[in-house]
């Protein structure tokens, strides 16, 4: 089995004027299944939803990952006359870290930043609240993606507190952080109850690195240009300086050898996935004649 996770796959398909023939054939001949975008990587890797905050903590701090965790990642704020717009992947200034840690300590919460791009809150219990993952933030206003649920008031107040502190430390860099963003709460499961669907992981996301440690799998940072061996989950990262069509063409070229191996029964299953769904193909699907109209 080979699993290829392309997080922005559906966006690429909608933006490209022409979809490569190979990709189109794969999609129309496959069986589709929905995925929870918050836990797609863990479901693909082991068939179980695992909190991304706990997986990230295991990647960043393997000796301090027990318990319940919440991600608290810096994000950019871009206000205009109509709304405050969000962009993920900001970088926290070092001058703000200690003040944020002290602020949350006053609320009885332990906050730390193993990386300028990632923060973690240690929780006593899972919050009764729904949070949006950072990849849905781009193009949305703050009001559209705020925490929702019975405890939303507390987490919205903490968002405001972080914004006040970061505004005082704001710099002029393109990735300047304007707020912390809370998401992905939960704890690691008992690893004895898990069964990996693959034997090797490829990609550099904290969640994937955490899965490699939790499931005791081999891991590599970069996808091989000649394809990937059977039993691999590949996190395929698009190039931001390419158009959607260019990224899809590159993906189709990389998948060509895999498509041929599937038809020759050299792999028994191919899964092409986004964060929201997966397309499953087996060897007989390689030879399926698809009729339209």
- 183/198 same-domain check: no
Last residue of a domain, one of 156, 187, 218: 187
Last residue of a domain, one of 187, 209, 234: 187
Last residue of a domain, one of 187, 214, 240: 187
Number of alpha carbons in the 13 Å side-chain half-sphere of residue 280: 9
- Angle between helix axes 94-106 and 152-168 (nearest 10 degrees) is 150
- 77/179 same-domain check: yes
**Cβ–Cβ contacts within 10 Å for residue 276, how many?**
13
- 138/196 same-domain check: no
- 175/200 same-domain check: no
pLDDT at 26 over 50: yes
Q: What is the mean pLDDT of residues 148-163?
A: 95
Q: Do the beta carbons of residue 119 and residue 72 sit within 8 Å?
A: yes
Q: What is the pLDDT of residues 192-208, one digit of tens each?
A: 778 999 999 999 999 99
The predicted pLDDT at position 87 comes to: 87
The CA distances from residue 129 to 125, 126, 132, in Å, are 12, 9, 10
> pTM for this one?
0.92
The predicted pLDDT at position 172 comes to: 67
The predicted pLDDT at position 291 comes to: 46
Q: What span, in angstroms and rounded, lies between the C-alpha atoms of 177 and 159?
A: 12
- 210/232 same-domain check: yes
- 195/175 same-domain check: no
- Note whether residue 57 is domain-resident: no
Q: What is the pLDDT of residues 159-188, one digit of tens each?
A: 999 999 998 887 767 778 999 999 999 999
Structural domain containing residue 126: 66-187
Q: Is the dihedral of CA 101, 103, 106, 110 positive or negative?
A: negative
- 169/261 same-domain check: no
- 152/242 same-domain check: no
- Note whether residue 150 is domain-resident: yes
Q: What span, in angstroms and rounded, lies between the C-alpha atoms of 254 and 292?
A: 27
Q: Using a pLDDT cut of 70, give the percent of the chain over it.
A: 96
Token code pair at residue 52: 């991304």
- 196/115 same-domain check: no
| Domain total of the chain | 2
- Which carries the bigger pLDDT value, residue 170 or residue 17? 17
Give the CATH number of the domain where residue 154 resides.
3.30.70
Q: What is the pLDDT of residues 93-139, one digit of tens each?
A: 888 999 999 999 999 999 999 999 999 999 999 999 999 999 888 87
Q: What is the pLDDT of residues 232-273, one digit of tens each?
A: 999 998 898 999 999 999 999 999 999 999 988 899 999 999
Q: Is the dihedral of CA 86, 113, 63, 216 positive or negative?
A: positive
- Note whether residue 293 is domain-resident: no
User: Average pLDDT, whole number, for the chain?
Assistant: 91
The predicted pLDDT at position 225 comes to: 65
Q: Is the dihedral of CA 134, 52, 5, 132 positive or negative?
A: negative
- 242/270 same-domain check: yes
- 169/236 same-domain check: no
């Amino acid at each position: 089995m080979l699993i290829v996770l392309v997080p922005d796959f559906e966006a690429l398909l909608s933006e490209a004027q022409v979809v490569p023939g190979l990709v189109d054939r794969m999609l129309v001949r496959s069986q589709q299944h929905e995925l929870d975008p918050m836990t797609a990587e863990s479901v693909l890797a082991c068939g179980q939803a695992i909190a991304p905050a706990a997986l990230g903590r295991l990647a960043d701090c393997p000796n301090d990952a027990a318990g319940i965790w919440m991600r608290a990642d810096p994000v950019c704020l871009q206000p205009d006359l109509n709304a405050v717009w969000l962009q993920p992947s900001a970088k926290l200034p070092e001058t703000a870290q200690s003040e944020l840690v002290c602020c949350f300590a006053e609320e009885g919460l332990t906050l730390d930043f193993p990386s300028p791009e990632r923060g973690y809150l240690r929780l006593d219990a899972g919050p009764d609240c729904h949070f949006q993952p950072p990849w849905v933030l781009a193009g949305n206003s703050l009001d559209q993606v705020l925490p929702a649920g019975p405890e939303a008031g507390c987490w919205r107040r903490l968002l405001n507190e972080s914004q006040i502190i970061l505004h005082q430390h704001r710099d002029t860099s393109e990735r300047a952080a304007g707020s912390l963003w809370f998401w992905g709460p939960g704890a690691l499961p008992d690893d004895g109850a898990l069964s990996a669907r693959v034997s090797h992981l490829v990609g550099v996301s904290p969640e994937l690195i955490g899965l490699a440690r939790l499931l005791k799998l081999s891991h590599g940072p970069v996808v091989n240009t000649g394809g990937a061996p059977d039993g691999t989950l590949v996190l395929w990262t698009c190039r931001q300086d390419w158009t959607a069509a260019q990224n899809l063409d590159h993906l189709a070229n990389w998948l060509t050898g895999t498509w041929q191996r599937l038809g020759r029964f050299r792999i028994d299953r191919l899964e092409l996935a986004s964060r929201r769904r997966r397309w499953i193909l087996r060897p007989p699907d390689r030879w399926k004649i698809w009729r339209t109209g």
